[in-house]
């Protein structure tokens, strides 16, 4: 354990594996180790250093942060803290992003040692990142003089790039002012102030003496609000900025004026952020908008103008700027533009829809046009026929213009391909309406229906509500259709399911009235279950269930259905349909859980349940409801009971130990239901009999 006998290289190898706290302890406890580590210290790459000392707490806390983690050292020995810091900062090999020194007691010896280490500011500043450095601050070291800002310090890039300087050190005089003029904000204490130094500040504040290029450089660093203020307060600045304004790339512009609020709000949004400007001067807002929109260099995704007072001078200025709509439309994104709307500018005439505007891609791609401007006449109708929806005011309507709308509305005159193109852009409800209102459209859509990729289909009919609800869900969304016409609902479903091109994850049919004609049509469409099952996803299908269709026979589970992958992969089967007999049991043995109704039960079919219930560990429950079971007494005797025993109680139950397994088999029976259920013995009800050896039970031996 005696480290003193180790060579220097071995000592340094050990130190290289220690954290800063460990190295500090080594320095503290042994003089030779200190000497070795002082001569050959490790390399440091700290990103943040924090040093704190408090009056009420005797220990000094030093926190070193780096890319590999954070180390906090608590010092009782203040001399050791100072010496450790001196070594650590001396061998720092990268810039420090943040450096913080905080001592409540300016006389703290650690603070003095740190200030001595960093006496010339260039020793500290050279470790700070000039690209992110904002503030240089010095605190709580009495007696520091202005000579601390020496030529080495002032010439550093960090000094030139910082924006703020603050200090509570009482410096000797204002002679340092000339070294602080590069900062945007300064807060210092000076013992003696000289007028000649104060006069240096005049030039700092006088922007009018700057060349145009420097003025524009300043403007380029301002936000829109700052540029607006510069325009407002000084005529020369306005002239320069008007002549050489910045480039704008707004994505959204909103201009609002409220009657009860005197200020105008303008919001400019871009990829770099959002700027909101509140204007008292309405002339200024109009002029700013005119310049900003003039030098917009990309399309605007959204443009909103909202004034409660149509006579608002800002609204008039904006409408004047955008008098020809092509000036506004060319800034809007044609791929996402849905509605073109014009409001509240009295006296605008139809010439606003000039050839330049109508020929724009934005005009052709928009879907809706609305305006409360009283236009001169209906002569503009020919320019509005491309829109899906139009709402306008016209002073004079001509019949010849109204007749233009006939062709727009007359779908029967279109070729089949155009009709199908229109249908392809409709949702299922729209297609259903087209089928309903016009025979030719119905015939065409029946012959050439769209391709469907539904993931879920839900069909519901209620006794208290006359309409039928059909919900189709797909990757692109959900469509709900409410049908008054039950025949139409059935025919639509038949077409939609026929042209389904993928498996359906979920398929639900729920009718309170089994005689509902829609239910009958759906069951007819899906009469052979393989027509339905082939649309269900075999990898996620868990339950097959059939409900509420009286008279369905077992032949519905035909060979085509049973051989489907979906039938083999499902885990549960349940049905409240009264099937003909238990002859279907052999087709249901692959399921983990079964619940069915059978009109007639045969003992030979019940005996088939023995093998899966005893040998299949995944078997859980097979339950069948009974109407007629001629061999019930024989079944009970095979289990060791009798019909007389069942007559004396509502039901009977017995547990049987399953050979070579920790599970037990429950057979529970009554006059109208029987259940085979495999379970863990821990789930067994203690009040029912457990038969340990099934070899003594005739049911399992026959």
Structure token pair of residue 144: 């520091």
Distance CA 230, CA 233 (A): 6
Question: Are the C-beta atoms of 677 and 653 separated by less than 8 Å?
Answer: no
- The pLDDT-based confidence of 619 (bands split at 50, 70, 90) is very high
Q: Over range 258-266, report the average pLDDT.
A: 82
Question: Are the C-beta atoms of 459 and 522 separated by less than 8 Å?
Answer: yes
- The pLDDT-based confidence of 352 (bands split at 50, 70, 90) is very low
Distance CA 356, CA 604 (A): 87
The 3-state DSSP class for residue 167 equals: strand
**Which value, in Å, is the radius of gyration of the alpha carbons in the chain?**
44
DSSP single-letter state for residue 55? T
Model pLDDT, residue 676: 96
Task: Tell me the pLDDT tens digit for each residue of 418-468.
Answer: 777 766 666 676 676 666 666 666 677 667 766 788 888 888 888 778 888
Does residue 622 carry a pLDDT above 90? yes
Sign, Cα dihedral of 114, 115, 118, 122: positive
Contacts with 207 (C-beta within 8 Å, 6 or more apart), sequence order: 215, 218, 234, 237
Distance CA 221, CA 226 (A): 9
- On the CB side of 202, how many CA atoms lie within 13 Å of its CA? 6
Contacts with 241 (C-beta within 8 Å, 6 or more apart), sequence order: 216, 219, 227, 230, 231, 291
State how far Cα 101 lies from the chain centre.
42
Question: For the chain, how long is the longest CA-to-CA vector?
Answer: 123
Does residue 652 carry a pLDDT above 70? yes
Task: Tell me the pLDDT tens digit for each residue of 653-698.
Answer: 999 999 999 899 999 988 889 999 999 988 888 778 899 999 899 9
Label each residue of 550-596 as H, E or C: CCCCHHHCCHHHHCCHHHHHCCEEEEEEEEEEHHHHHHCCCCCEEEE
Model pLDDT, residue 679: 93
Q: Residue 685 CB: number of other CB atoms within 10 A?
A: 10
Share of residues in the chain with pLDDT > 90 (%): 9
Distance CA 602, CA 609 (A): 12
Distance CA 390, CA 500 (A): 36
CATH number at 451-570: 3.30.420
Task: Tell me the pLDDT tens digit for each residue of 177-188.
Answer: 888 888 878 888
Does residue 245 carry a pLDDT above 60? yes
pLDDT higher at 551 or 664: 664
Does residue 161 carry a pLDDT above 50? yes
- The pLDDT-based confidence of 604 (bands split at 50, 70, 90) is very high
Model pLDDT, residue 449: 66
Does residue 64 carry a pLDDT above 80? yes
Residues comprising the chain, all counted: 702
Task: Classify residue 357 as exposed, middle or buried by CB count within 10 Å of its CB (0-12, 13-18, 19+).
Answer: buried
- The pLDDT-based confidence of 620 (bands split at 50, 70, 90) is very high
- The pLDDT-based confidence of 548 (bands split at 50, 70, 90) is low
Model pLDDT, residue 668: 92
- In the numeric block, the tokens 């030529």 are attached to 151
Distance CA 51, CA 60 (A): 7
- The pLDDT-based confidence of 207 (bands split at 50, 70, 90) is low
Model pLDDT, residue 593: 93
Does residue 101 carry a pLDDT above 70? yes
Model pLDDT, residue 412: 60
**pTM of the full structure:** 0.35
Would you list the DSSP string of 52-120? EEETTEEEEEEEEEETTEEEEEEES-HHHHHHHHHHHHHTB-S-BSEEEEEES-TT-HHHHHHHHHTSS
H-helix or E-strand spanning residue 521: helix 517-525
Q: Residue 503 CB: number of other CB atoms within 10 A?
A: 19
Model pLDDT, residue 36: 72
Distance CA 585, CA 596 (A): 10
Mean pLDDT across the chain: 76
- On the CB side of 296, how many CA atoms lie within 13 Å of its CA? 24
Q: Over range 232-237, report the average pLDDT.
A: 64
Structure token pair of residue 448: 């050439």
pLDDT higher at 143 or 114: 114
Distance CA 624, CA 679 (A): 18
- In the numeric block, the tokens 């401007």 are attached to 373
Task: Tell me the pLDDT tens digit for each residue of 5-61.
Answer: 777 777 777 777 777 767 777 766 767 767 776 676 667 888 888 888 877 778 888
Helix 20-29 vs helix 31-39: crossing angle, to nearest 10: 130
Least trusted range by pLDDT, from 230-244, 284-298, 330-344, 525-539: 525-539
Task: Tell me the pLDDT tens digit for each residue of 293-302.
Answer: 777 777 777 7
Model pLDDT, residue 651: 81
The values of phi and psi at residue 571, to 5°, are -100, -25
Model pLDDT, residue 316: 78
Q: Residue 701 CB: number of other CB atoms within 10 A?
A: 10
Structure token pair of residue 458: 């839900």
Least trusted range by pLDDT, from 168-182, 396-410, 629-643: 396-410
């Amino acid at each position: 354990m005696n480290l003193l006998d180790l060579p220097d290289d071995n000592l340094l190898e050990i130190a290289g594996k220690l954290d800063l706290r460990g190295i500090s302890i080594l320095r503290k406890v042994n003089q030779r180790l200190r000497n070795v580590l002082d001569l050959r210290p490790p390399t440091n790459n700290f990103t943040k250093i924090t040093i704190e000392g408090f009056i009420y707490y005797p220990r000094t806390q030093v926190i070193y942060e780096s890319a590999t983690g954070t180390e906090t050292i608590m010092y009782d020995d203040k001399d050791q803290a100072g010496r450790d810091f001196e070594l650590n900062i001396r061998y720092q090999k990268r810039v420090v992003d943040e450096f913080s020194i905080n001592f409540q007691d300016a006389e703290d010896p650690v603070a003095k040692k740190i200030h001595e280490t960093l006496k010339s500011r260039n020793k500290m500043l050279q470790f700070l990142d000039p690209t992110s450095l904002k503030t240089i601050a010095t605190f709580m070291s009495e007696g520091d003089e202005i000579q601390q800002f020496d030529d080495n310090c002032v010439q550093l890039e960090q000094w030139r790039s910082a924006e703020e300087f603050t200090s509570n050190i009482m410096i000797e005089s204002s002679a340092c002012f000339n070294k602080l003029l590069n900062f945007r904000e300064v807060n210092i204490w000076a013992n003696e102030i000289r007028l000649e130094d104060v006069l240096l500040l005049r030039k700092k504040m006088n922007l009018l003496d700057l060349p145009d290029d420097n003025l524009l450089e300043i403007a380029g660093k301002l936000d829109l609000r700052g540029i607006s203020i510069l325009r407002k307060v000084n005529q020369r600045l306005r002239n320069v900025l008007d002549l050489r304004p910045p480039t704008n790339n707004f994505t959204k512009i909103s201009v609002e004026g409220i009657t009860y609020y005197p200020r105008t709000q303008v919001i400019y949004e871009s990829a770099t952020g959002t700027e909101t400007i509140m204007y008292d001067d309405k002339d200024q807002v109009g002029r700013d908008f005119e310049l900003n929109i003039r030098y917009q260099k990309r399309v605007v995704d959204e443009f909103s103008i909202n004034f409660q007072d149509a006579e608002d001078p800002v609204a008039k200025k904006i409408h004047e700027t955008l008098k020809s709509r092509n000036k506004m439309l060319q800034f809007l994104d044609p791929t996402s533009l849905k509605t073109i709307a014009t409001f509240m500018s009295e006296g605008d005439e139809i010439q606003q829809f000039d050839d330049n505007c109508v020929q724009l891609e934005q005009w052709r791609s928009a879907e809706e046009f609305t305006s409360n401007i009283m236009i001169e006449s209906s002569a503009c109708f020919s320019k509005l026929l491309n829109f899906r929806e139009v709402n306008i005011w016209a002073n004079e309507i001509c019949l010849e213009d109204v007749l233009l709308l006939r062709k727009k509305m007359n779908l029967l005159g279109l070729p089949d391909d155009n009709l199908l193109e229109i249908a392809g852009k409709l949702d299922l409800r729209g297609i259903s309406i087209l089928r309903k209102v016009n025979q030719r459209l119905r015939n065409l859509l029946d012959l050439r229906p769209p391709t469907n990729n539904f993931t879920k289909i839900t069909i519901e009919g209620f006794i208290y509500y006359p309409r039928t609800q059909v919900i189709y869900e797909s990757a692109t969304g959900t469509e709900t259709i409410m049908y008054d016409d039950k025949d139409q609902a059935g025919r639509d479903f038949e077409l939609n399911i026929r042209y389904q091109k993928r498996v359906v994850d979920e398929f639900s049919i729920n009718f309170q009235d089994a005689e509902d004609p829609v239910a009958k049509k759906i069951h007819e469409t899906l009469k052979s279950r393989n027509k339905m099952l082939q649309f269900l996803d075999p990898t996620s299908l868990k339950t097959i269930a059939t409900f509420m269709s009286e008279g369905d026979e077992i032949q519905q589970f035909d060979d085509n259905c049973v051989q489907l992958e979906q039938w083999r992969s499902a885990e549960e089967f349940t049905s409240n349909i009264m099937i003909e007999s238990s002859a279907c049991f052999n087709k249901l043995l692959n399921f983990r859980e079964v619940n069915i109704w059978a009109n007639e039960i045969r003992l030979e079919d019940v005996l088939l349940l023995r093998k899966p219930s005893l040998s299949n560990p995944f078997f859980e429950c097979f339950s069948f409801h009974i109407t007629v079971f001629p061999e019930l007494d024989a079944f009970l005797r095979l289990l060791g009971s009798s019909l007389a025993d069942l007559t004396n109680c509502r039901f009977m139950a017995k547990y049987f130990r399953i050979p070579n397994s920790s599970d037990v088999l429950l057979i529970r029976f009554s006059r109208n239901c029987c259940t085979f259920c495999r379970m863990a013995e821990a789930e067994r009800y203690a009040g029912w009999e457990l038969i340990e050896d099934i070899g003594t039970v005739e049911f399992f031996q026959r």
